Chain A
C-alpha cells in the first residue's frame, strides 16, 4: 500500500499560464477528490471523480478542470492562472462509504506559486 502520491511537489508559474497536477490513488480506492488549501486556511473542495466522471464540484470556475483515468489516477488542470491560485493542491482518494465512514486519504500536496 503506497498511499496517495502527488506530483510535482512544488512548481512556479506565471500569471496566464496553464498547469497540470497529477495524483496516484491509494490501491483499492476508486474515488478521487481535489482540494485547494491557501496558506493558513482549511482545504476547499474543488471537485470529485468517480469512475472517470465528475460527480461533485465546489465553488470553482470552469478553468479548473480534471480527469480520472481507468486506473483511478487523476489530473487537475488549471488554465489562465491567477495570482490567487497560489496554494497547496491536495488530492484525496477513498474507497467510498464503508461501515458508515468515508475515509479520505490525502497526498502531501503540490505547492503552486503563481508570479
Chain B
C-alpha cells in the first residue's frame, strides 16, 4: 500500500532531447507528489511538486503530469542538458508527512 514504483531505473538521453520518468502508486491517501534530484555525494533536492487536484505543473524545463484515476505521474525534462545528469526520485506524501520514495532513475544526458 505504501509503495511507489518508478521506471526506468536508468535512462540515457541525447543533449536537447526529452527525458521522461514515470511513477505509479497504490495508496489513494497520498496528497502531495514531489520530485527530487540527487547528485553524487549530495542529499536529494526538491525539483518540483504537484498536488492531486492538478493535472499538470510546469517550472522552466521541468513538467509534472499527473493522472489521478490511473494513479500515475511523470516527470518530463525538456531540452535535457548534461548538467541534468543525476538520479531522480519521485515521492508521495501521506497525512503523517512521511515521504515514500520511488527506487530512483539514473539519468545520463550525453553531449
| Residues of chain A at the chain B interface (Cβ within 8 Å) | 4, 31, 33, 35, 40-45, 48, 55-56, 58, 90, 92, 100-109
Q: How many A-B residue pairs have CB under 8 A?
A: 57
Task: Name which residue of chain A comes closest to B102, CB basis.
Answer: A42
Tell me the minimal C-beta distance from B43 to chain A in angstroms.
3
Tell me the minimal C-beta distance from A59 to chain B in angstroms.
8
Give the contacts of B79-111 with A (CB-CB under 8 A).
89, 91, 93, 96-104
Task: Name which residue of chain A comes closest to B49, CB basis.
Answer: A101
Asked if A108 contacts B97 (CB within 8 A), the reply is no
How many chain B residues touch A (CB < 8 A): the figure is 25
Tell me the minimal C-beta distance from B52 to chain A in angstroms.
12
Task: Give A100 to B97 CA distance when docked, in angstroms.
Answer: 13
Asked if A44 contacts B101 (CB within 8 A), the reply is yes
Q: Does B18 make an interface contact (CB < 8 A)? A: no
Tell me the minimal C-beta distance from A8 to chain B in angstroms.
14
Which residues of B are found within 8 Å of A44, using beta-carbon distances? 101
Tell me the minimal C-beta distance from A7 to chain B in angstroms.
14
Asked if B93 contacts A43 (CB within 8 A), the reply is no
Task: Name which residue of chain A comes closest to B100, CB basis.
Answer: A45
Known: A43-B89, A108-B41, A108-B42. A102 touches B97 (CB 8 A): yes
Which residues of A are found within 8 Å of B89, using beta-carbon distances? 42-43
Asked if B98 contacts A48 (CB within 8 A), the reply is yes
Asked if B102 contacts A108 (CB within 8 A), the reply is no
Q: Does B46 make an interface contact (CB < 8 A)? A: yes
